[in-house]
Amino acid sequence: MHPVIEVSGVRKTYGKTVAVEEASFEVNQGEIFGLIGPNGAGKTTTMECIEGIRKPDRGTITVLGLNPFRQVYKLQDRIGVQLQQAQLQKRIKVWEAVDLWASLYGKKAIDGRRLLEQLSLTDKRGAWFMNLSGGQKQRLFIALALINDPELVFLDELTTGLDPQARHAIWDLVRGIRERGKTVFLTTHLMEEAERLCDRVAIMEHGRIIDIDTPESLVRRHCPERTVVLDANDPAAGNHFKIIPGVESVTCENTRFTIRGRGDDLVTQVIHCLSENRIPVTDFRTVLPNLEDVFLKLTGRSIRE
Partner 1 sequence: MLRGLWKLTWIEMKVFMREPLGALGTIGVPVLIFVVLGRFANLRSRTPSPAVMGLSGAGLPVLVALLISVSAVLSLVTIISIYREGGILKRLRATPLRPQTILSAHVIVKLLLTAATLGLMFLAGKRYFPPGAHVPWFSFTIALLISTWSVLSIGFLIASIVPTARFAQPIGAVILYPMIAFSGLFVHISDLPPVLRAVTRVLPLTYAVRLLVGIWNGDGWFAHGGDVAALTVLFLLFTAISAKVFRWE
Angstrom distance (rounded) from CA 46 to CA 5: 12
Angstrom distance (rounded) from CA 285 to CA 259: 11
**Distance from the Cα of residue 17 to its chain's centroid:** 25
Q: How far is the CB of 291 from partner 1 (least distance, A)?
A: 28
Residue 81 binds partner 1 (CB under 8 A): yes
Q: How far is the CB of 209 from partner 1 (least distance, A)?
A: 23
Nearest residue (CB) to partner 1, 144 versus 218: 144
Among 76, 136, 183, 187, binds partner 1 (CB under 8 A): 76
Residue 89 binds partner 1 (CB under 8 A): yes
Nearest residue (CB) to partner 1, 81 versus 274: 81
Angstrom distance (rounded) from CA 212 to CA 233: 44
Helix (H) or strand (E) holding 27: strand 17-28
Residue 96 binds partner 1 (CB under 8 A): yes
- How far is the CA of 104 from the CAs of 7, 25, 130, 144, 155, in angstroms? 27, 30, 23, 11, 19
| Binding piece for partner 1, criterion CB under 8 A, among 16-24, 98-106, 234-242, 246-254 | 98-106
Question: Which amino acid, 50?
Answer: I
Residue 55 binds partner 1 (CB under 8 A): no
**Residue numbers 245-304 binding partner 1 by CB under 8 A:** none
| Binding piece for partner 1, criterion CB under 8 A, among 56-64, 89-97, 219-227, 275-283 | 89-97
Among 39, 99, 214, 272, binds partner 1 (CB under 8 A): 99
Question: Which amino acid, 297?
Answer: K
What would you measure as the largest C-alpha separation in the chain, in angstroms? 74
Q: Work out the number of other CB atoms within 10 angstroms of the CB of residue 228.
A: 23
Among 2, 15, 16, 73, binds partner 1 (CB under 8 A): 73
Residue 101 binds partner 1 (CB under 8 A): yes
Q: Which residues contact 266 (CB under 8 A, 6 or more apart)?
A: 226, 228, 244, 246, 247, 259
Between CA 193 and CA 213, with CA 202 as vertex, the angle to 5 degrees is 95
Q: How far is the CB of 148 from partner 1 (least distance, A)?
A: 9
Among 8, 17, 65, 106, binds partner 1 (CB under 8 A): 106
Among 2, 15, 16, 103, binds partner 1 (CB under 8 A): 103
Q: Which residues sit at the interface with partner 1, rule CB under 8 A?
A: 51, 53, 73, 76-77, 81, 83, 85-92, 96, 99-101, 103-106, 128
